Amino acid sequence: MIVVRLVFQTKWGKAQQVVEGFKQTSEIARRVVGPNARSRIMTDLSGPFHTVVQEIEVESLAEWERLRVAMFSNPEFQQAQAGVDPLIKSGYTEFYTIEATY
């Protein structure tokens, strides 16, 4: 199992708007890729201000790539994502292998 962490630095005071946009894109993604993809959205309590993190659990990197292509080729997802993009200053992606769950 792989965790994909999408870490975004939003513009000042825009984190909650980004969270709402991510909730919308997550619902669209769920319809596109199916209910098996687990995800969560988090905001900072410490560290850099105005940070929004979305984590998505997938079976493999190949599965992530398949889901990513399906999401970004969907017009409804593209439209929702376009509303979030102007609120983000920067971001990056991290990939982790889940070694154990308790």
Q: Report how many domains make up the chain.
A: 1
**Above 90 in pLDDT, residue 89?**
yes
Q: Which pLDDT belongs to residue 2?
A: 94
Q: Give the model confidence (pLDDT) of 23-68 as tens digits.
A: 888 888 777 777 677 889 999 999 889 999 999 998 899 989 988 8
**Above 80 in pLDDT, residue 91?**
yes
Q: Which residues contact 33 (CB under 8 A, 6 or more apart)?
A: 67, 70, 71
Q: Which pLDDT belongs to residue 24?
A: 85
Calpha distance 35→48 (Å, rounded): 32
Q: Which amino acid belongs to residue 92? A: Y
CATH number at residue 65: 3.30.70.100
Q: Is residue 102 part of a domain?
A: no
Q: Which pLDDT belongs to residue 50?
A: 95
Q: Is residue 51 part of a domain?
A: yes
Q: Give the model confidence (pLDDT) of 75-88 as tens digits.
A: 988 888 888 999 99
Domain extent, residue 32, equals 2-97
Q: Is residue 11 part of a domain?
A: yes
Helices (H), 34-74: 61-72
Rg, C-alpha atoms of the chain = 14
